[in-house]
Structures are given as structure tokens and as C-alpha cells.
Chain A
Amino acid sequence: MSKFPVRSAIRDAMAEEMRSNPNVFLIGEEVGEYEGAYKVSQGLISEFGNQRIVDTPITEAGFTGLAVGASMGGLRPIVEFMTWNFAFQAIDQIINSAAKTYYMSGGLVNIPIVFRGPNGSALQVAAQHSHDLSALFTNIPGLKVVAPYDSADAKGLLKSAIRDPNPVIFLENELLYNEVFEVPEIDYSIPIGSANIKKSGSDITITSFSRGVHAALKAAELLEKENISAEVIDLRTLRPLDTNTIIKSVKKTNRLVSVEEGWMSSGIGAEIISEVTSKAFDYLDAPPERIAALNVPLPYASNLEKLCIPDQDNIFKLCRRLF
């Protein structure tokens, strides 16, 4: 094991897949000569050249549609959105073109493509640069949605995403880019669709994904001090959701809290709780709960922003209330 920040884990996944498949290419704004707005693609242009690390104009609808067409033409595009907020400009090409074509063509035309970039809030970038699109994409048949937390998962899941014959939404988090985690030194990938138990416990199940896992783990430490043993599940993939792992855990712990940084209504938590109440209702000793961003566009001011995003204390308090 070596330690790498999430940023370079993502870069390494792309580089390794590009080395093994000449049809994989990266396209997006500032991915090449600038080496990535968040330096995720650092060094790639010097290795692969500007034919495969394609700097685009600021033209999200255009280059997203172009990438969909390129995938029809036999390529495997990795589309980087500088942040996922800008993908709203291109949402038609993601949903109507990428996600639906395989079905509408009766299985004749598949779209192998990865859409990736930082998702959700960062630090004081306000509403238009802080949107968490997780729940939105999990609503769409024909898409896979991945949201890793640590470096090893980011690398292993991105490699699977690039090899996947379907369109994959890959949600990163700007605040995790600098976080350092262990990464296996072997050649590996992690299958899409499997959750990971980050910490096992016996009294309550906490599910989360992406940066929310960090807060959930911290909350579990606080709970430990109160003699509450929390099991923390990193969902890793949001669609298809690994409900088996969640149900199995809830049957053991009999309590559930879902944590997400997106909004609560029609969110990931709603989906998880619905699954759990329908499949493990009799095992629940307390109402399943969810914690999410407050229902407002994310404000700019640091103190207001902090109020909106669930942290370890919010999670800790909510969990404790269930006993």
C-alpha cells in the first residue's frame, strides 16, 4: 500500500486506462495545457498529447454531445466537467442522448462514456457552484452513478467506469481531492454496484457516500464514546444501489440513519429508507432517519454555509436520539 491523494488516484486511473486502450480519451475545459482546473489531469497531456487530452472551448452542451457521438463512433470518452454544476448546460445530452439511446435502439447502439468532475459544495462558492447532483442522476434508467470517498475506491471505480459499456456518472468532491488515503499497489478495479462497510458496528447503521462518509466516520467515533457501536456503510455506487448490504446491516443493527450532502426531498436517503422499510420493516427498532443539506440554495457566507451541510455533530445527535 502507498498513500495518495484522491486527485492523483483519479489521474492514475485515467492514465492506466488510456495506456491500455488507445480509444480512451479525456475531453473537457482546461484538461490539457492548463492540466485541469483542479489539477486532476496533471501530466496527462505530456504523456498522451493533445489528440487524446482534448481542450474544449467553453461549450458544455457541444462537447458533451460530441462525446456521445464519438462513443457511437467507437471511442471511449471521459468527459470532465470543470464542476458538475456546469453539466446542467449539457443535461439533455447526458439524459436524452447518452442514457436513453441503448434502450431506444433496442440494444443496437450502446454509449460507453464516463462523465466526471467535482460535485456538491466546496468552500463558499455559493449556490450555482455547489449543487449536488447525486439524487438527480439516480432517477434516470440507463445511467450508473458512482460517488467514491477515498483514493482506493476512486481509482478502482473509475477504472471500472471507463471499461463499462454504459454511460457512467462519476461524482467526485473538490474537498476530497487533497485527502490522502492508502491505495493498493497492484493492478485492480472495484466493481460498480457494491457498497463497502467502512466500520462495522452492532447498534446503528449509518449510510453515506463521497465526503459524507468522512462525517459519518467521525460521528461513529463520537458515538463509540457513548457506547453506541455504529456501522458505517460507504455506498460508493448510488445507482444501482447495493440494497443487499444495507438491508443486511439494518437487520443486524435495527437502526438506520442516511447521510447525504444533497437536499433531502426525493433524495438518496428517501430511496434508502423506502427500501429498508419495505424489506426490513420488522427489524427496525426506531424510525429510520435521514440527514441532508437544508432545503435552501447553498448560501455564500461561511457561517450560513456551515449550517446547511450535515457535519459529524448533526449526525451524532440524530443517531443518539434513536436510542
Chain B
Amino acid sequence: MLKDKDYSNIIDELGGGRLLAKNLSKFTNIVLNEKTVYSWKQQGIPDRWKPSIIKLLLKAGGTIPQGFIPPGMSVNNFQDNSSLNTELLEKYDNFNENDISNKTLESFYEKMLYLRRFEERVGQLYGLGLIGGFCHLYIGQEAVSVGMEAAINKDDNVITGYRCHAHLLSRGASPYKLLCELMGKGDGISKGKGGSMHMFDPKNNFWGGHGIVGAQVPIGTGLAFASKYLNKPSLSLTYFGDGAANQGQVYESYNMASLWKLPIIFCIENNQYGMGTSIKRASAGTDLSKHGESFGIPGFAVNGMNPISVYLAAQKAVKWVREGNGPIILEMKTYRYRGHSMSDPAKYRTREEVQKMREEQDPIEFMKKKLVDKKIYSSKKLQSIDDKIRSEISNLAEKAINSNPSNEDDLYTDVLCEDYDE
């Protein structure tokens, strides 16, 4: 049996109650009161905290008293083999909400709203039969694209999967060309040959638009490889979902990116469902930001329904990558309100679940409240911005509807760079 003195020694060895409370909170994400930790000197350390404390003792080179390790386990169970330097990452933790300008806050609202109204319009056009095939909407996830984009440069490379409309717009792609592409028009960004899932905008350093789940991850890693090879300062922002996170090539990419210290942010948009399969049914480890640990890639989870949280996390990740530390993983905890694609009845979740997210966590409502609370915008101004966006998208959609269908002469172009003999 351990005595009070043993507990007291342990707490002292780990720098006292205050420091230990802070360090334990870091380990577990549970906020601990320093008084609670001090009280353990008399009451003994509760079992649930023992593993974390053993790890901290090992790290600090402290002594572990006999009887402190839970029965059936040895010190080896608590050795931290990971090469992660979490303290190093902390150095990058100096971004603050108070430093975000009002102008940036305004842009978060406007940009997210633009993505929302655009996708809503796309949904309508799909319902009217003007858009065909597979079509995946971004509604609900807007904070991720807008927050990430605000932290990177135009020279950086962005790549994603098939849920790509929002990321294209965030990069600066023409919304008219996107609408045309979706409706199979000659003015489409891919001349109507790519569709919803396959759109590229190299002028804005956007590299697709990939229909095969997870395939964009090694490609994004290759964009980072090219930046490094060419000594360019640009990084690769590679998006994928919680479903794609189970693909083998994602881990192959983690390995190469870490091995070669490539400038890449792996941004996992965890919207909780890979098509109809919840993350709990698909991933043995649902803490996706930690999946890079064995490769030495740090990562952390972010509230992906809050553009400010996303932006702060993105700034930290960008700084980490730009300073040559290699890859980093951001797991955006987000949510899509619509089905996986337009043909999804969404029977795998309840209406209430969706409703609750919309009511309590909507990123646009959050920004509205923020702007009004901070007296940056009046509710009237918010509404007028909404009206303006609606009318702009409406006009573009009309123009796109009335544009010419894809040109039949283009059927045999762009197969090869030179003339193609069909």
C-alpha cells in the first residue's frame, strides 16, 4: 500500500499541484483544478489518473513507487515510444482570437454564407434535373474551408475529394464556371467533361476534385514534394474525410510526408459519416488527429463548426509546416446537414440529430451572433448581405442555365496533349 508521503512525493516530483494539473489537462483534455490535485496528497491519487501520472513520471525521469503501477501491468506499458515532440508544437500556440481583425470576421460570415447559398442553389438545380450524376454538398461544413483558406496563401496548393465546390470557391474559382460545369455546359471549368466531382483550377493552385476516396492524399503529398524539390515556400493543404481516413494510401502518405519532412497539412474533415457509416462503425481509433502519431506527425482536433477555431488552428499548422517541421494533421470535427450525395435518404441518423446540430452549432449563425454582439454589423446589414449574395448567385445560375451545352467538338479534345486519333 502506498502512503500519503508517496503521493505527496509524486506530486512534488512532477512540479507540484499547479503544474501537474496543467500537464494532466494536456494529456487528457479534461480540465483539472489545482486544488483537486493538491488534495490527492492526502486522499491518494485516484486510479483513473494513475496511467497519465506514470507517463509523466517516466518522462520526467522520476521514481515510480512500488504498488503504484496497476496490477497486471509494467512500466513498459507506459513508455512513450512516439517521437512526437508535443512541447515543440506548443511553441506555435500563440495565435489569439483577439488578434483577428473585424474585417476578417466580416469575411468569415460573407464567405461562409456564399458557400451555403451556392450549395443550396446547386441542390435546387439538381432537384430540377438540371444537374446530373453524383453531387455532394458542403452545407454545414463551411467553417472549415473558409477558416483554412484565410490562413494560407494563394501560392499554396489545395486538393480535396469529390465534395469540392466550396474549396474551389474559397480558392477564387469562378462560380459561373462551376455552375456551368455542374450543368454540363461548354463554359464549365472542365468544359463539361468533369462534373461535380472533377474540377480543377490550376491558376488558383487548386488541383481537384478527385472522385476516388482517398486518392487525393498521396497526390497532395506529391504537391508538397514538388514544392520542396523546387525550393518553393508553398505548402500543400490536402483535405479528406473521416471515411477516406481509413484508406491505406493515407497512411502511406503519412509515412512519406514525415520521412521526407514535406510541407503538408493533412486536413481531415470529420463530418462523422463516411457515406452512411458512422465513424464509430468504421474506425477502430476514432481520434483521427492522432493517427499520425506512429509516423511522428503531430495533430489535434478542432471545432470545425467554428470558423474562428479553424482559423486559429490553421495559423498554427501553417506556421509549423512553413518552418520546416514537416507534416501536421488537423482533424476538423464538422457536420454535413445534407445527405452524403443527392441520392442519400440519410436513414443512418435521426432528424433530431441533424436538427440539433443546425440549431446549436451552425457556423453561420455563430458568426451572425458574433458580429452583432461585437456591434460590427447590425441584423439589417446581415440581411442585406444575404440578399446580395442570393441575388448574385441567382443571376449566375440563370446565366449558366441559358448558356450552351458542352460542345460536341470537345468530345475528343483533352484526351492527350496533342491531337488525338480516336
* A interface residues, Cβ below 8 angstroms from B: 23, 25, 51, 56-57, 59, 61-75, 92-93, 96-97, 100-110, 141-142, 144, 165-166, 240
Contacts and interface: CB of A to CB of B under 8 A. Distances in A.
A166 B256 CA distance: 25
B225 A69 contact: yes
B226 A70 contact: yes
Contact of A61 (B193, B218, B420): B218
Which 10 residue pairs across A and B have the least CB separation, nearest first?
A: A69-B222, A73-B226, A65-B218, A62-B252, A106-B190, A69-B219, A106-B191, A107-B414, A105-B200, A104-B198
Interface in B149-196: 157, 159, 188-194
Given A69-B221, A69-B226, A108-B200, A96 B190 contact: no
B259 interface: yes
A318 to B, nearest CB: 30
B190 A105 contact: yes
Interface string B208-236: 11111001011111111111011000001
Interface of B: 157, 159, 188-194, 198-202, 207-212, 215, 217-227, 229-230, 236, 248-249, 252-253, 255-256, 259, 410, 413-418, 420-421
A229 B220 CA distance: 55
B120 to A, nearest CB: 26
A322 to B, nearest CB: 30
A25 B225 CA distance: 12
B212 A92 contact: yes
A100 B157 CA distance: 20
Given A62-B218, A63-B218, A65-B218, 6 more contacts: A69-B226, A96-B212, A96-B215, A106-B188, A110-B417, A142-B415
B417 A72 contact: no
A74 B211 contact: no
B218 A51 contact: no
6 contacts: A69-B220, A73-B227, A73-B229, A97-B212, A104-B193, A105-B194
A74 B205 CA distance: 12
B221 A144 contact: no
B207 A65 contact: no
B416 A142 contact: yes
A59 B254 CA distance: 11
B277 to A, nearest CB: 21
A73 B230 contact: yes
Contacts of A56: 256
B218 A93 contact: yes
A59 B255 contact: yes
A104 B416 contact: no
A70 B191 contact: no
Contacts of B212: 92, 96-97
Nearest to A112: B417
